[in-house]
Amino acid sequence: MQTIDKFNFAGKKAFVRVDFNVPLDENFNITDDTRMRAALPTLKKILADGGSIIIGSHLGRPKGVADKFSLKHIIKHLSELLGVEVQFANDCMGEEAAVKAAALQPGEVLLLENLRFYAEEEGKPRGLAEDATDEEKAAAKKAVKESQKEFTKKLASYADCYVNDAFGTAHRAHASTALIAKYFDTDNKMFGYLMEKEVKAVDKVLNDIKRPFTAIMGGSKVSSKIEIIENLLNKVDNLIIAGGMTYTFTKAQGGKIGISICEDDKLDLALDLIKKAKEKGVNLVLAVDAKIADAFSNDANTKFCPVNEIPDGWEGLDIGPKTEEIFANVIKGSKTILWNGPTGVFEFDNFTHGSRTVGEAIVEATKNGAFSLVGGGDSVACVNKFGLANGVSYVSTGGGALLEAIEGKILPGIAAIQE
């Protein structure tokens, strides 16, 4: 497989798939440019070599052309970050895009309009009537899959080589990630620096395990984490369950949880996961106490109580001090750590303490030689909020992609480069 470090981009046009899906305010100002900055090493390497760049990205989830999702809003800032005046093609499929791509000189950059303006990018039909028959749905799907081939072929025609630096979309079989790579031979397609780091970090945490291996899984729903938990039970020594999932596990074991979040239809599943952990010799670590509130609000009345004795009208919004100590001790004794999901409603300052304690324990373990991977939107927001990002081994930019990789799934955007 080709690597970006060894590739010389001199005189070549590179189609670079990035993740510039950045948040914008009502005046179209970028409120967080982390994703743009993450792609800079790859883009600057190509320019330094004497190559030119055609950038493809998504912004939001438009169902057609929409000004608020136009990538034109990021041109000025991207130009400043790169130190190059970025050109823009206002239709990724239009004649303008083809002409501008063909005319690109070494050191020049062309940003294509939002790829998602076209249904072919995702390969899913749009505009179907709500009462469409199965036959109509099948015909529409077939039609968009056919036109997707031409869409992909045209994107590929703009460039001599292909670089995928968008780990955040690697779990989607989109035209610009999984399909376009087929138009480039092995020597002319590669991961960008960010993607390369992501792939290595995930591989290390799943396949190059130094023990004890501890995973901390937060989040509100057991249902959204079943496959991940089941896959991790085959790999970890300790599995810490945190966040809203806590209360489903607590209720399943007969505990009183007040009005805490709970998936009542997943109580049997929680018991089954407890049983599986026991059978596999995994130390399943659950909360023993909680910080509870009488309303879902930062200003609510609060107190601590055993997690299985939450009074009626109260809900658990974070772990309590005894649980903090238990979690921290397990984490500090670990050599490989994966953190996905906070311990509570960390968006409210009064319920950040548990997540901060977990983050600080991970930083301490990392200082003592552990490899730590933090991933998933809320966990990343946590370490950034607490200023801990530099103290962990790796912070993943890919939410859904990271989770699917942890589930053991093959990610189409990665497979397309490795083939």
The residues annotated as belonging to the active site are 35, 221, 377, 400
The three-state secondary structure class of 303 is strand
19 annotated as belonging to a binding site for a ligand = yes
60 annotated as belonging to a binding site for a ligand = yes
376 annotated as belonging to a binding site for a ligand = yes
369 annotated as belonging to a binding site for a ligand = no
Side-by-side strand order, sheet with 302-306: 302-306, 289-293, 315-319
How far apart (Å, rounded) are the C-alpha atoms in residues 48 and 64?
36
37 annotated as belonging to a binding site for a ligand = no
With a CB cutoff of 8 Å and minimum separation 6, the contacts of 216 are 240, 242, 327, 331, 337, 338, 339, 340, 341, 358
Cα→Cα distances 374→31, 175, 237, Å? 22, 28, 18
57 annotated as belonging to a binding site for a ligand = no
303 annotated as belonging to a binding site for a ligand = no
With a CB cutoff of 8 Å and minimum separation 6, the contacts of 43 are 16, 18, 53, 55, 82, 109
How far apart (Å, rounded) are the C-alpha atoms in residues 70 and 352?
35
225 annotated as belonging to a binding site for a ligand = yes
Dihedral angle sign, alpha carbons of residues 236, 344, 401, 223? positive
21 annotated as belonging to a binding site for a ligand = yes
20 annotated as belonging to a binding site for a ligand = yes
Contact 387, 156 (CB under 8 A): no
35 annotated as belonging to a binding site for a ligand = yes
211 annotated as belonging to a binding site for a ligand = no
255 annotated as belonging to a binding site for a ligand = no
The three-state secondary structure class of 89 is strand
The alpha helices in 208-284, defined as continuous H runs, are: 226-232, 245-252, 267-279
> What are the binding residues for ATP?
225, 316, 347, 376-379
Binding-site annotation: residue ranges for substrate: 19-21, 35, 58-61, 116, 172
Which residues are part of a known binding site?
19-21, 35, 58-61, 116, 172, 225, 316, 347, 376-379
**Which residues are annotated binding-site positions for (2R)-3-phosphoglycerate?**
35, 116, 172
